Amino acid sequence: MNIILLGPPGAGKGTQASHLVKTRDMIQLSTGDMLREARSSGTDMGKKVAAIMDAGELVTDDIVIGLIREKLEGNKQGGFIFDGFPRTLTQADALEELLNEVGEKLDAVIALAVNDEVLVDRIVGRAAEAVAAGGVARADDNEESLKIRLMEYYKKTNALIGYYHAKGNLVWVDGLAPIEEVQSNIAKALD
């Protein structure tokens, strides 16, 4: 089974992906993780990624698709969770084309629905708790940065909601429900 997790920063995509990895033997394909892994790999692709990132430029969609292709052609296990990709319609089309090329398909797109005000309060509170416990909060886990990140997310990914709804893949799940309830609702959507 191959799925996409959609949701704004802090909606719980990472938490839910980790649960699916444990319970369904799926492989989480996080764009950020793949880029960091490639950068330190020493492979030709990794050197290309490192050069682009070191120059402060954005990695092209072609490179990201290439990294995803490497993962898809490797170990399949229980399927893949696409986390952080696609973010645009162009990327969605490229992913669909790649899946077709390697004999795979997209089974579901899980959209974590959230209320932005509650989400901001949750993340700012989480950052404060981390600092109070002697830890370190993400530099961008503050109200102003979060609002900017949310606006950027919606500008880039809103079109994906309609795209996947039209394809019949989209399932909404309340991302602000208790974690176990979100897990249960995702499981129902996938079964």
pLDDT tens profile 10-65: 888 989 999 999 999 999 998 888 888 888 888 888 888 888 888 878 788 998 99
- What is the pLDDT, as a whole number, of residue 136? 77
Q: Is there a catalytic annotation at residue 138?
A: yes
DSSP 108-133: EEEEEE--HHHHHHHHHHHHHHHHHT
Give per-residue pLDDT as tens, 72-114.
Answer: 887 667 899 998 789 889 999 999 999 999 999 999 999 999 9
User: Which tokens is 109 given?
Assistant: 């797109």
Q: Is there a catalytic annotation at residue 24?
A: no
Q: Is the pLDDT of residue 160 over 90?
A: yes
- What is the pLDDT, as a whole number, of residue 107? 95
- What is the pLDDT, as a whole number, of residue 38? 87
- What is the pLDDT, as a whole number, of residue 89? 92
Q: Is there a catalytic annotation at residue 126?
A: yes
Q: Which of 87, 105, 122, 155 is catalytic?
A: 87
Q: Which of 69, 76, 138, 156 is catalytic?
A: 138
Measured CA to CA in angstroms, residue 110 lies from 17, 59, 187 at distances of 11, 25, 10
- What is the pLDDT, as a whole number, of residue 4? 96
Angular region, 129: left φ>0, alpha ψ -120 to 50, beta rest: alpha
Q: Which of 24, 76, 149, 156 is catalytic?
A: 149
- What is the pLDDT, as a whole number, of residue 189? 94
- What is the pLDDT, as a whole number, of residue 33? 84
Among candidate residues 66, 119, 70, 74, the one with its CA nearest the CA of residue 94: 66
CA distance 12 to 172: 14
Give per-residue pLDDT as tens, 115-153.
Answer: 988 888 888 887 788 788 887 777 667 788 888 888 888
Q: Is there a catalytic annotation at residue 13?
A: yes
Q: Is there a catalytic annotation at residue 48?
A: no
Q: Which of 47, 126, 167, 188 is catalytic?
A: 126
Confidence of residue 165 (pLDDT cuts 50, 70, 90): very high
Q: Is the pLDDT of residue 167 over 90?
A: yes
